[in-house]
Chains A and B, each alone.
Chain A
Amino acid sequence: MLTEVHVPEDVPAAVGLIVSGATVLGGGTSLMPALNDYGSPPTELVSLRRTGLSGITVTGSTVTIGATTTLSQIEHDSRLQILNPVVRSIASVPVRNLATVGGNLFVPQPYGDLAVALVALNARAVPAGGSGPAELPLERPALVTAVTFELPAPGVFKYVKAARRRWNSASLVTVAATIVELDGLVSGARVALGGVSDHIVRAAAVEEALLGRPLTEETVAAAARAGLGELSPADDAYASAWYRTRVFPVHLRRALLGR
């Protein structure tokens, strides 16, 4: 049962409350559904709404997005066109106006498509309290104040989310990737997958199968075959594990080749 909602005015106050056992509340779109309708042990929340963590800065090619920046703020920021299709593939307008970047890092699969994209972009999470930026996905929960990444060259970032409906539906398979080509061969590949496991999958076998080869149908098909071993999907209300596995190669191809 929800016993208290704290609304601290700065990060140190929030950290103090978290240390004493309170749960972080970002936009509430993942946490509040559970608290509204289900019993729970006594729960105190720390809303980050007033901690001053909202905002987007772009310096040169370095993007920094504050943890409480909403998905809608990203959607309407012309400097972040690269993430526009990503955030618009998530939930709906009245949810995106609440859901935060920081929160998206911690939602359970098959949600968290922005986090999938951030993994592909090699983004770092900036934790509260001084320790250095951490690679995504985070290994353990922490209060994140911002995420930061370098904007890739045009065309390098690829993103496809397959869902039951065009808008407002959870992931069946999400593919996010940054692919760098040099002299007709793949010289850099970072591939992240959503919807196909209980965690975001960094698809190392797919990356390895792409590196040093031309980005062709054959290469991508082989990479998809290599990637099958990295999938551990579950049956849920959106799709069966079988279906997710079956369509993964199709969506990998669509993401990487655009067809």
Chain B
Amino acid sequence: MLDAGVIMQMLLAAVGGTLIYTLIGIAPGTDETAVLAPVTLVLVLTGLEPIVILTFFMAAIIAKKLTDSIPVAVAGVPGGVMAAPMVEHAIVLKKHGKSDLSIRKMASGSVIGTIVAVPVSLLLANILVPYADQIQGYTNQILFGGAILLALMSKNRWIALASIVPFAILIQGLRHLYWGVGVVPEGTNVFISFFLGITIGPVILTLFELLNKDKRKAMNRYDNKTIALQTEQSQKGLPNPFKILTQQELSMSTLASFFGSLLFVLSPVGITILLGELVSARVKDPVKKSTLAISSMDALTNASYISGTLIPLIALGIPLSPVAIGPANALFNAPPVFTLEHNMHHLLTKTDFIWAVVIGAVVAIVITYFIIVKYAQQICRFVFKWIPHEAVLGLFFGLVLLLAHMDGGLINIGGVLLIGLVAGFMHRLGINYGVQFMVLYAAPWIVTQLAGLS
């Protein structure tokens, strides 16, 4: 049973997660995995109660998803990868001078997505539980199959497929090197810092390129980025998502969220584009079409994030969705605290899950929804004006160095840079994060199988 101390910690974690990710969600160009995974990893390593961490994570993703569409509406700049599909529709509304409406519709869509996804995910996870034992017996094969499946589903499928074995060898090569020189005890797989190395791979590659004079000279140069903001106007009264959305938007958002939750194993961006365009395809009026598209897309991104985290976590304890393998990764695997045999799936009861999710979701929605609908313009202006992108990159780089050293000493800083270089190059060749993360999980098995064959 939960005691008051733990509930207090959960509430604090939810408020903290909400406030931090309200600001981060707005900062342009923040990738979901890059901003959620490191912080969650760090919290897991500090040894907080698993239920507190899950509460934090739920509040964080809901706040992040509620807010990352705000700069789209206000300035046409996506606040994250997931908000990118909405840009086109938001710009239509901005042209019609309806940024305000855009924000209210999107935030309301998010709320609907959350309300639908939480119960659907809990139900679906319970349906899957009886099969969990059988599935868990094949964890390695499933992760390897996942890498192949994600490769086949990506845009550049052949190169993604061809990269699986070489990348697995690089990862295992470094691990065996560390065991050989004695910086890491044999059998301990360095994981966290490699994961972060992959995440900021594209940045590492660009940083190395800056050291090459010719490359540096050849880079495109830009003047400061111009961001158009509308004059500030504040809303009166308390917003209500059921009044802000029309009947049609409400039912389409609900429907899209429901199907988005069922399709939790697919890429959230993919589902959002596909279903989002599908629901709005038949509407002719440009403003109505766009409000319908953005409200249901925002509902969908929220729903697919929640279901992609909760279903694999509750039912299996194996990260079997793009969300679970990316942003939510630390809930599944963060050695030495969590491993695939010992993580939240094994530590939390069904009631624990419900409490964590409900507290996280309610706190995030209450705070973000009301703040955002009222102060969207002001928050955007603050973030754009005071947070330089350089500082954000510096922060990630510092965290990567720190965790690299903790994982395997000085030599691992070099190792993580190597992983980052290769991963960044692979990313540029069109091999997406999902494939790379799956290979990171499947690498020990792939290499053992290869060795057994020869």
Chains A and B bind each other: no
